[in-house]
Amino acid sequence: MLLNRPRADELMDRDGIDAIVASTPINTYYLSSWATDASWGFGDLALALLPRDHAKEAAVLTVEVDTGQPQQRGGTWMRIVRGYARKPGIGAGGVQGVMTSEGLPQNHPEAVADYLREIGLAKGARIAFEDRGLGLDVAEMLGGAIEAVGARDFLRDIRMVKTPEEMGHMRAAARKTELALQISAEAIAAGATCAEAERVFWSATALTGGRPVFLLITPYRPGFGRLDKGAALQEGDTITFDATTEYAHYTSDIGRTAVIGWPNADQLRVFNATRLGWRAALPHFRPGRLSTDVEKAVTACIQAAGNPEFKGCGLHSVGLEHTDHPHPNGGMHTFELVDGMVISCDLPWIGPAVGKFHFEDIIYLNNGEVEILNNPDGRLLACVDGRAVPVE
| 51-67 as b/e: b if 16+ CB within 10 A | bbeeebebbbbbbbbbb
- Sheet arrangement for strand 47-51: 80-84, 59-63, 47-51, 19-22, 126-129, 147-150
pLDDT single digits (tens) 178-225: 999 999 999 999 999 999 999 999 999 999 999 999 999 999 999 999
Are 337 and 343 in contact by the 8 Å Cβ rule? The answer is yes
Are 34 and 71 in contact by the 8 Å Cβ rule? The answer is yes
pLDDT single digits (tens) 344-360: 999 999 999 999 999 99
The DSSP element (H or E) to which 100 belongs, if any, is none
Q: How much is the pLDDT for 43?
A: 66
Q: Nearest-CA neighbor of 86 among 66, 68, 72?
A: 66
The pLDDT of residue 257 is above 90: yes
Query: Which own/partner contact pairs does 279-282 have at CB distance under 8 Å and 24+ positions apart?
Result: 280/304, 280/305, 282/363, 282/370
The pLDDT of residue 106 is above 90: no
The pLDDT of residue 93 is above 80: no
Query: In the CATH scheme, what architecture does the domain 164-390 have?
Result: Alpha-Beta Complex (3.90)
Give the confidence band of 317 by pLDDT, cuts at 50, 70, 90.
very high
Phi, psi of 139 (to 5 degrees): -60, -40
Q: Which of 85-94, 128-137, 212-221, 295-304 has the lowest mean pLDDT?
A: 85-94
Q: How much is the pLDDT for 90?
A: 47
Instruction: Give the CATH H-level superfamily of domain 5-159.
Output: Creatinase/prolidase N-terminal domain (3.40.350.10)
Q: How much is the pLDDT for 315?
A: 95
pLDDT single digits (tens) 22-35: 999 999 999 999 99
> Which pairing describes strands 147-150 and 314-317: parallel, antiparallel, or unpaired?
unpaired
The pLDDT of residue 304 is above 50: yes
Mean pLDDT of 297-315: 95
Q: Nearest-CA neighbor of 69 among 106, 112, 38?
A: 38
* Rounded Cα distance, 101 and 354, in Å: 67
Share of the chain above pLDDT 70, in %: 95
| 281-304 as b/e: b if 16+ CB within 10 A | bbebbeeeeebeebbebbbebbee
Mean pLDDT of 53-71: 90
> At CA 211, angle to CA 208 and CA 214, rounded to 5?
120
Give the confidence band of 100 by pLDDT, cuts at 50, 70, 90.
low
Enumerate the domain spans of the chain: 5-159, 164-390
Are 193 and 224 in contact by the 8 Å Cβ rule? The answer is no
The pLDDT of residue 96 is above 60: no
Global pTM value = 0.92
Q: How much is the pLDDT for 27?
A: 96
Mean pLDDT of 237-264: 97
39: burial class by Cβ within 10 Å (0-12, 13-18, 19+)?
buried
Q: How much is the pLDDT for 39?
A: 83
Give Cβ neighbours of residue 324 (< 8 Å, ≥ 6 apart): 156, 159, 160, 316, 317, 318, 342
Are 18 and 52 in contact by the 8 Å Cβ rule? The answer is yes
Q: Which of 1-15, 120-134, 299-313, 327-341 has the lowest mean pLDDT?
A: 327-341
Q: How much is the pLDDT for 101?
A: 60
* Rounded Cα distance, 367 and 62, in Å: 38
Mean pLDDT of 158-182: 97
